[in-house]
Structure 1
């Protein structure tokens, strides 16, 4: 049977803690091996050093050597318990602070939403007041001048009535018409006055609501400041408690194997989550590299278009020099695009079948552009130039389609990686919560409850904070964007 190329080796994870091992037995020391020992020539068993006497007693040596690690473990456990007792009051005070301020973070978020809605309503009331004031300003001249206009209208109607009576057909003018006109004018004035006072009442109500909103915002802002202080104390207590537990429990915990197991489980999930976060960032970088490739590919298309126009109009060797220069630029940007494509694939590794196929197609397109451009740019005539430009244009158009597909595939890879981050973030918070519960139970076993609440309560989930570790802006440095020029 053939052996494996890479033999299986035992590896040790530095993040996984191991319990202390106590030797069960020890090989007895042969008395014959110490026959020539100078200490064995001393007269009498009591005149020999203790170590020499135990060398001739293998049974006792085995007993003592097997008891020594146990004694060291007991001493370490006792020292650890003493350390816990020394900081028990600090632990209790921090837990009490967390309990008393546990409502602050959620209440602060709700208060912020409440103030935001109050400010929105305040803006609406201010706009309503401005609209009412504008309408009042428009109706104010009619209201103030209504009496003068009424007198003027009545005088005009009186004169008009007298003139009409002098006519032979005065009977056609009914006296009720004039009375109706006067009544109509009075009714119009009453309607204008009613509308004016209605606007004043509306403005008064809006102003009253505005004042109420200002008072509520001021009161809510004061409450928000108080909640901010409590939330800050709560966050500080969490940080201090984390630092306290890390200083005590980091590494092997003698006498408490359950804490070692919980911490090992936490570190395993933490390593997994960090790997998922790095994958998201790598996929995001891949998308940026593909966008960089698209910019270089666009630049190649600009020079390709210029070369096509000049090739159609040019003639002679000197006339085609600019065309050849444009094709060299096309080849230059195609080469840079190929380099960026390789960088994007490195950040997408391991490649799936779809992305691998698209990458292979794009590499072939880049090679096609270069193979067409380089020879013709060196020695081609007009017919060869036109043929080269036509072939290059086909490759360039195909490259645009493939790059769009690659960019979409890279974004899909990032979405999938983010789903894994969400899952690992949730599991990591569960492991962290379980680890903190075990550590608090260690304090309760060693030092008692004190003033701290006996029941563990995970007041603040850190799942969202773990998720947001991948919500960072990834920027390519100058070396990675070398050669890319916007046209």
Structure 2
């Protein structure tokens, strides 16, 4: 840097006045000394890491073909496995058919008694014709068996060859991944945070951080939607248990030893499950942390309306078997309709989660675009600082990480479980 300024002043001395040369502005004019020191440190770190950077870029280039071929082989093996699964029963069937036909063939070929009977009856020609027909049939099914077995063996050989090739590629894939991880760490160590002298790197690093934050926010939104779906799904358990209690109440009502108190106690348990269903319905829509759309609002309204109607029926009190029977029938009809409404509620909730999954897909792609742009700028810093030759081969992003970002987001929601619908102990008095 200093030598270039000396060269500029030396060249200017041939045709500029001395006072002009003396007052010629410096490249670091108006820059604080601390900034100049910080920039020198960054450039020194780049120079010191140049050899390692070149080594890693060479490793990436040498193994760049492996991930694609490895994935292709995995797909091929899956296809071969499917064909093997389809073919193996066909081979077993062909073997069984050949064995059966062989018995038929032997019954004519090796049976002296049968041959003797036909000869005595002077039907030797008929015997020979049948024997020939059975032999021909045997050879036909035997040929089918051999073809099927040959095809099966060929597929097994293909799979074995693919397995060997995949095993070799697996080592290259591991090397490739390790090189990516190492170069990420190398660049992170040099460039993370404010990087003096590389304003464009700082700007792109900020864009990358914002893209990563956006993906985290979308992931949290997806987790909220999945919690909503799980709560909506748990509503079904509450309805099914309420229906079970309704059935128990029906048995109690028709029993020889009729107990009005027993029917009412069971219906109270039914009400407890209905109330739990209403709670879960509320939890589901609250979980998504957003104003529900019209479809979801309508689905919840329909479900809640049926719950409220079922609860009102279950809280009615009668003193005769016939009145109770009519009440229990209405209760069962309403709860059955609630099951249908619950399905629609889950479907509406799933639309929210699917929309958020699609948003994650777009955000993961945006994050990958920003990451690639950042890596390109950081590699450019090596090229401009130590020269293209020292930093060769040129950086090339060979692996798309967007699917991985998307997968990681989905994995965070995969462990979310349905809320519990606590089962009331048998014959226990339900809560008031």
TM class by shorter chain equals: 0.7 to 0.9
Aligned counterpart, 1:413: 352
Aligned counterpart, 2:192: 250
Q: Decide whether the 8 Å contact of 1:286 with 1:347 is kept in 2.
A: yes
Q: How many residues end up aligned between the 2 structures?
A: 392
Aligned counterpart, 1:145: 110
For residue 109 of structure 1, give the secondary structure of its aligned residue in structure 2.
helix
Determine the C-alpha separation between the residues in 2 that align with 1:238 and 1:264: 21
Show structure 1 runs of 5+ residues with no match.
1-65, 158-180
1:471 to 398, 410, 418: 410
Report the CA distance between 1:403 and its aligned residue: 2.3
Q: Decide whether the 8 Å contact of 1:281 with 1:474 is kept in 2.
A: no
Q: Find out whether 1:286 has 2:249 as its counterpart.
A: no
Aligned counterpart, 1:130: 95
Aligned counterpart, 1:113: 75
Q: Decide whether the 8 Å contact of 1:292 with 1:484 is kept in 2.
A: no
Q: Find out whether 1:345 has 2:285 as its counterpart.
A: yes
Closer, same or farther in 2 for the Cα pair 1:188/1:405, shift >3 Å? closer
Q: Decide whether the 8 Å contact of 1:92 with 1:449 is kept in 2.
A: no
Report the CA distance between 1:361 and its aligned residue: 5.0
Q: Decide whether the 8 Å contact of 2:57 with 2:394 is kept in 1.
A: no
Closer, same or farther in 2 for the Cα pair 1:129/1:445, shift >3 Å? farther
1:359 to 300, 307, 310: 300
TM-score (norm 1): 0.69
Q: Find out whether 1:71 has 2:33 as its counterpart.
A: yes
CA RMSD of aligned residues (A): 3.7
Aligned counterpart, 1:225: 167
1:237 to 179, 186, 189: 179
Q: Greater Rg, structure 1 or structure 2?
A: 1
Report the CA distance between 1:77 and its aligned residue: 0.9
Determine the C-alpha separation between the residues in 1 that align with 2:168 and 2:395: 26
Determine the C-alpha separation between the residues in 1 that align with 2:130 and 2:240: 71
2:46 to 84, 98, 108: 84
Aligned counterpart, 1:483: 422
Determine the C-alpha separation between the residues in 1 that align with 2:186 and 2:310: 63
Report the CA distance between 1:99 and its aligned residue: 0.7
Aligned counterpart, 2:261: 321
Report the CA distance between 1:360 and its aligned residue: 4.5
2:401 to 462, 469, 473: 462
Residues 419-478 of structure 1: CA distance to partner in whole angstroms, max 9, x if unpaired? Answer: 11111122111111111111111111112335654444221111211221243323337x
Range 400-409 or range 129-138, more displaced: 129-138
Q: Decide whether the 8 Å contact of 1:94 with 1:241 is kept in 2.
A: yes
Closer, same or farther in 2 for the Cα pair 1:243/1:338, shift >3 Å? same
Determine the C-alpha separation between the residues in 1 that align with 2:237 and 2:285: 17
Residues 46-99 of structure 1: CA distance to partner in whole angstroms, max 9, x if unpaired? Answer: xxxxxxxxxxxxxxxxxxxx9896211111111011111111111111111111
Show structure 2 runs of 5+ residues with no match.
1-27, 427-432
For residue 471 of structure 1, give the secondary structure of its aligned residue in structure 2.
helix
Closer, same or farther in 2 for the Cα pair 1:308/1:200, shift >3 Å? closer
Report the CA distance between 1:266 and its aligned residue: 1.5
Closer, same or farther in 2 for the Cα pair 1:320/1:153, shift >3 Å? closer
Determine the C-alpha separation between the residues in 1 that align with 2:55 and 2:327: 80
